[in-house]
Structure 1
Amino acid sequence: MAKESDTPTRGRRSKVDLLPDDIRKRLDSGLRDGSITQAELLEEVNALIKAAGLPEEQQLSRAGINRYATKMEAVGKSLREMREITQVWTAELGDKPTGEVTKLILEMARSQLFKALLNESESGEAADVGMIKEAMLAVQRLESAAMASHKREKEIRKLFAEEAANAAEKVAKSAGLTKAAVAQLKNEILGIA
């Protein structure tokens, strides 16, 4: 039989993870807002825990809220950095084909997946592979929509060029141009070498 101190604690959910959604949302918003101190927020959250009729063991400690705040700040910092990088690259690739932007997004997703798996191995917390999978699915759908839009745009341009070439052909013939000159003009409009 294993002693209590030998029992693994990795993977055990923290007190914050066990909080009801409404209390956890208040904790998260208080940490993001920053208008009150962690001590005041701790007091408020513990009062909400008590008012909800949860056991006293469920109340948070200063160390617990500090660990959670540090973790949330690290996540927030990563998200802010990723958002800045995305904005820079999106501006850089704005005129490029959508495939280039998709390649960038996929590379970022791979990087995040690697970080999540690395974090899982270091902390014992399960990586949120479901979220990454949903993000990849969203990227796939966006790329599919972008490609369909690009294809439709090319079809519209081709039809417009054909109409313009036919109109130019009529004008050129009525102006007395030779058949060769009319064919050359039409080919130029259609982009045929």
Structure 2
Amino acid sequence: MTDKADKQGKPTRGRRSKIDLLPDDVKSLLDGLLRDGKNSQQEVLDAVHDYIEQQGLPEDIKPSRSGLNRYATRMEAIGRDLRDVREVSQALVGQLGDKPTGEVSRLILEIGRTQLFKAMMHANEQEGEVDIGMIKDAMLAAQRLESAAMQSHKREKEIRKAFAEEAAATAEKIAKKAGLTAETVSNIKKEILGIA
């Protein structure tokens, strides 16, 4: 695949769009108006241009209609993918029901890995090669997903252990007050703590 070129024949691959380079406050306004969905693209463009003028920012940062259209299309595609992933995740997690959280974490990790793979494949199809920076970002994201799953699992085990210990102590007090034998009290504690 060949690199795209601008009007002067300069390669544009990897260059950030004019909208991506907007100041944070302008970009936030633009994103908010697009998310709202109540405004036409022309109304969004007019509002952004007005805001840029009110802030005394340079005229040359004003996005064009075609640039806004490309950005809005890209954001809608990303939003659609996120909604699809969310729906699939909710359906799969719903099917898991009361299964251990570890299975839910594994499912979420698998979805994350799949999405990273799809993103890398898409980049490869679009540009002919995978950007090293994207691979590093993908690896970092995968590492964070794994770490989050491990922390979640560790925390869940700690909570279960603390709850079991508290329940065992309470059961021991009640059993003693009820006049049960020491052996029976011990057996109840073992059952609660999962030692039996």
What do the CA deviations read for 1:77-103 (whole angstroms, capped 9, x no partner)? 111111222222222224111211111
Matches within 5 A, 1:74-85: 74-85=77-88
**Identical positions, percent:** 39
Aligned to 2:109: 106
The partner residue of 2:39 within 36, 45, 48 is 36
What do the CA deviations read for 1:106-137 (whole angstroms, capped 9, x no partner)? 10110121122223334457638548735752
Farther-moved stretch of structure 1 (19-28 vs 136-145) = 136-145
Aligned to 1:179: none
Q: Shift of residue 37 of structure 1? A: 1.0
Structure 2: stretches of 5+ with no match in the other structure: 1-7
**Backbone CA RMSD of aligned residues:** 3.5
Q: 1:129 to 1:54 in 2, by over 3 A?
A: farther
Distance in 2 separating the partners of 1:55 and 1:112: 38
Distance in 2 separating the partners of 1:100 and 1:108: 12
The partner residue of 1:54 within 29, 39, 58 is 58
> Does the 8 Å CA contact 1:165/1:190 hold for their aligned counterparts?
no
Aligned to 1:119: 122
TM-score using structure 2 length: 0.71
TM-score using structure 1 length: 0.72
Q: Shift of residue 161 of structure 1? A: 4.8
Q: 1:152 to 1:19 in 2, by over 3 A?
A: closer
Q: 1:29 to 1:158 in 2, by over 3 A?
A: closer
State the AA in 2 paired with 1:68.
Answer: Y
Matches within 5 A, 1:143-162: 143-154=150-161, 156-157=163-164, 160-161=167-168
Larger radius of gyration: 1
> Does the 8 Å CA contact 2:33/2:44 hold for their aligned counterparts?
yes
What do the CA deviations read for 1:31-85 (whole angstroms, capped 9, x no partner)? 11122211121122223334433143x3222211111111010111111111222
Find the residue that maps to 1:127 and give its secondary structure: helix
Structure 1: stretches of 5+ with no match in the other structure: 174-181
Figure out how many residues of one structure are paired with residues of the other and give that number.
180
Matches within 5 A, 1:129-168: 130=137, 133=140, 136-137=143-144, 140-141=147-148, 143-154=150-161, 156-157=163-164, 160-161=167-168, 164=171, 167=175
Distance in 1 separating the partners of 2:163 and 2:65: 63
Distance in 2 separating the partners of 1:128 and 1:66: 28
